[in-house]
Amino acid sequence: MSEKPKFAMYWSGSCGGCEIAVLNIGEKILEVDARFEVAFWPVAVDAKVKDVEALPDGDILLTLWNGSIRNEENEHMAHLLRRKSKLLVAFGSCATEGCIPGLANLAPLGEIFETVYHTISTDNPQGIHPQPVTQVPEGEITIPALKDRVYTLSQVVDVDYYMPGCPPESHQIAAVLDLVFQVLEGKAQLPPKGSVIGAGGSTVCDECPRARNVKTIKAFRRIQEVAPADPALCLLEQGIPCNGPATRSGCDARCPRAGAQCIGCYGPAEGVIDYGARLMTAFASVIDATEPEEIERILDGIPDPAGQFYRFNLADSLFKAGAPAFKHNGH
């Protein structure tokens, strides 16, 4: 190969964990460096946005994008990197479905600012409240304005592949990179555009080694209230709200294996239109009650239903946000 193909990775509304997960693949990261020219990766190399702007369109072979679209700069960069990249991968839960940042869609923007800048946990004696445009003696300075709500990457630009997980498991990242290397060598083909990569096609339950019987739940309890939880029995069967039935496989049931319930970070299983709705169906099926009062009492054991059912998927759900998020735009 005369010239190495280019690789980029970018982060937007995210926590940084996805970047760590990439570095966690160990020495395979050296192979990325050997096979690719890293054109842009703010966390790892010193390239500037203007360097990206100077590239011909489609010049970057592979861009891993991690993060939700929270502000106008995120959106601008998404358009830029989309234009410059042949393959744009929504990498991790934030990019594919909004993830934890997407939970901000349960509140109006004003409340988010209020909480972040003016509540008791914030030391802000001057009451600073950032504005997109600020006049200072030297002139005008700007910071990116927040968008009305958190968007997923594919809600703002065309995405080629989706890689779920918060963060994606390192062995899955390594497997995807191996596939890319094979494609570069002409030994493999890319999956069809729009595919979910680095994950399985079934549910976390399918990879879970815990024993399952007919589930009859009389009470939901938090895991710390079940002492000790049976290490070999399905957690949901023990009344612990485990999101495995609606969640895509790929992590090898990491959490249930470690003694904790799945909270759904691999997003909706194959064919699921709305993650929360699928999970509601699953939970409603295992509740052993027919009287409304008793059903309500059992449901009291899920104190935060929106959080339980949409912790990772709210921005990508059918509703995309809670009603308060729309307050400011006249609705």
Using the contact rule CB under 8 A, the part of the chain among 15-23, 174-182, 234-242, 279-287 near other proteins is 279-287
| Cα three-residue angle 160-151-41, rounded to 5 degrees | 60
14 binds ligand SF4 (CB under 6 A): yes
Q: How far is 249 from 238, CA to CA, in rounded Å?
A: 21
In the complex, the smallest distance separating the C-beta of residue 263 from ligand SF4, rounded to whole angstroms, is 4
Residue 210 binds what, of other proteins, ligand SF4, none (CB under 5 to 8 Å, by partner type)?
A: ligand SF4
Residue 131 binds what, of ligand SF4, other proteins, none (CB under 5 to 8 Å, by partner type)?
A: none
Please report, as residue ranges, which positions from 293 to 322 form the binding site for other proteins (by CB under 8 A): 295-296, 299, 302, 304-307, 309-310, 317-322
- Contact with other proteins (CB under 8 A) among 84, 283, 311, 315: 283
Using the contact rule CB under 6 A, the part of the chain among 44-52, 90-98, 129-137, 194-202 near ligand SF4 is 90-98
Question: Which is nearer to ligand SF4, 92 or 185 (by Cβ)?
Answer: 92
Classify 27 as helix, strand or coil.
coil
- Contact with other proteins (CB under 8 A) among 6, 292, 312, 316: 292
Question: Which is nearer to ligand SF4, 52 or 251 (by Cβ)?
Answer: 251
Residue nearest to ligand SF4 (CB): 244
Place of tokens 């399905």: 234
- Contact with other proteins (CB under 8 A) among 45, 47, 175, 289: 289
Amino acid code (one letter) for 28: K
Please report, as residue ranges, which positions from 96 to 125 form the binding site for other proteins (by CB under 8 A): 106
How is residue 139 written in tokens? 């002139």
Q: Which residues contact 16 (CB under 8 A, 6 or more apart)?
A: 43
118-151 residues labelled b (16+ CB within 10 A) or e (exposed): eeeeeeeeeeeeeeeeeeeeeeeeeeeebbebbb
Bridge partner residues of 146 (DSSP): 71
Give me the phi and psi of 178, to 5 degrees please.
Answer: -60, -40
Q: Which residues contact 18 (CB under 8 A, 6 or more apart)?
A: 11, 66, 67, 91, 92, 94, 167, 168
Residue 205 binds what, of ligand SF4, other proteins, none (CB under 5 to 8 Å, by partner type)?
A: ligand SF4
Q: Which residues contact 174 (CB under 8 A, 6 or more apart)?
A: 25, 28
Binding-site size for ligand SF4 (CB under 6 A) equals 34
280 binds ligand SF4 (CB under 6 A): no
Classify 140 as helix, strand or coil.
strand
287 binds other proteins (CB under 8 A): yes
- Contact with ligand SF4 (CB under 6 A) among 212, 222, 327, 328: 212
256 binds ligand SF4 (CB under 6 A): yes
In the complex, the smallest distance separating the C-beta of residue 189 from ligand SF4, rounded to whole angstroms, is 27
In the complex, the smallest distance separating the C-beta of residue 241 from other proteins, rounded to whole angstroms, is 11
CA 131 to chain centre: 28
Give CA separation, 106 vs 13, 103, 209, 295, 324, in Å: 16, 6, 35, 26, 6
269-305 residues labelled b (16+ CB within 10 A) or e (exposed): beebebbbbbbeebbeebbeeeeeeeeeebeebeeee
Using the contact rule CB under 6 A, the part of the chain among 120-128, 134-142, 144-152, 264-272 near ligand SF4 is 264-272
User: Residues interacting with ligand SF4, by CB under 6 A?
Assistant: 14-15, 17-18, 66, 92-94, 99-100, 166-167, 204-205, 208, 210, 212, 234-236, 242, 244-245, 247, 251, 253-256, 262-266
